[in-house]
Amino acid sequence: MKISIINGPNLNMLGVREPEIYGTLSLADIEAQCLDQAKKLGIEMSFSQSNHEGEIVELIHAAHEASHDAIVINAAAFTHTSVAILDALKAVNLPIYEVHLSNVHARESFRHQSYISAIATGVICGLGVEGYLAAMRAIVLK
């Protein structure tokens, strides 16, 4: 089994600013914890981040082309704006798990809207890195 974990804009800044919202872990720390989890679960994992909408669309296509079994995505701000990412996720027809580090529902109202949730198998927010790990476990257990 192979899982593609895709991260959106500004998540490369984690651990540097706004630790009260996003915690103190860097994206490299999150990747290391996901890799550790993948080893424990006996699966393969790819982990990527982009600040560009079109690149995220291509990462979604690549997950399909490389025969990944599921996508875990934290599309960051594009969650709330991107029909292109929604269309790409629909096109690849893979199980989608939407993850957010923070509880988006306890924040500004524009973060309550997600283009991805309606087509996701599962949505996890507010659990920090544990959301990524829980999504990985859920994919394997399904």
- Residue 106 interacts with ligand CA2 (CB under 6 A): yes or no: no
Q: By rule CB under 6 A, what count of residues binds ligand CA2? A: 17
For residue 42, the minimal CB distance to ligand CA2 (Å) is: 27
Query: Smallest distance, Å, CB 37 to ligand CA2?
Result: 18
Q: Does 120 bind ligand CA2 (CB under 6 A)?
A: no
- 43-76 in b/e burial notation, b at 16+ Cβ within 10 A? bebbbebbbebeebbebbebbeeeebbbbbbbbb
Is the distance from CB of 120 to CB of 97 less than 8 angstroms?
A: yes
Q: Annotated catalytic, 100?
A: yes
- Within 52-81, the residues that bind ligand CA2 by CB under 6 A are 74, 76-77, 79
Whole-angstrom distance, CA of residue 64 vs CA of residue 116: 17
Nearest residue to 116 via CA among 20, 8, 3: 8
Asked if residue 30 binds ligand CA2 (CB under 6 A), the reply is no
* CA 14/CA 26 separation, integer angstroms: 5
Considering beta carbons, is residue 13 or 35 the nearer one to ligand CA2? 13
Nearest approach in angstroms of CB 12 to ligand CA2 is 8
Among 102, 120, 129, 133, indicate the residue that binds ligand CA2 (CB under 6 A): 102
Which 3 state secondary structure label does DSSP give 134? helix
Place of tokens 């934290």: 74
Give the active site residues: 22, 100
The residues of the shown chain that bind ligand CA2, judged by CB under 6 A, are 10-11, 13-14, 16-18, 22, 74, 76-77, 79, 100-102, 104, 111
